[in-house]
Homo-oligomer: A and B are copies of this chain.
Amino acid sequence: MITKIDHLGIAVRDWETAVARYTTLTAGPPQHIEEVPEQKVKVAMFEVGEARIELLSATAPDSPIAKFLEKRGEGMHHICFQVPNLEEALQRLQADGMEILPGAGSAGAQGRRVAFLHPKSAAGVLIELVEKL
């Protein structure tokens, strides 16, 4: 069903420090920086093998990331897996009793179609699925 880890989302409060830390870890600057106005976030992407690290910073106080930071502090926000076909994956997961969050099929970073699973369906982890381009 899932073919690889697409990226790991990390919620950050201190953007400059976080970008510097992951630049050191991945031995290079972010390959891509983007604002996603619909989600009120700024993202920086660092390549790591076949996957990426996505730093997420809130661009408004009512951003989902701002709320996450308030509740949990900086740290892992979600795991994104790549699937060949989003509808097929969601149908199979629902058939196995996993809960899909509202808004499935909408556009995420870089305009790709995504869906999120409820953390209670995956041992407390927020899982994003993204369709392969």
Could you tell me which A residues sit within 8 Å of B by CB distance?
1-5, 8, 10-14, 17-18, 21-22, 24-27, 48-51, 55, 73-76, 79, 81, 92-93, 96, 98, 119, 121-125, 127
Show 27 residue pairs from A and B whose CB-CB distance is below 8 angstroms, ordered by the A residue.
A1-B26, A1-B27, A2-B25, A2-B26, A2-B48, A3-B48, A4-B51, A5-B8, A5-B48, A10-B123, A10-B125, A13-B123, A14-B123, A17-B123, A21-B98, A24-B93, A24-B96, A25-B93, A49-B50, A50-B50, A51-B51, A55-B123, A74-B125, A75-B124, A75-B125, A76-B76, A76-B79
Which of B75, B96, B125 contacts A119, CB < 8 Å?
A: B75
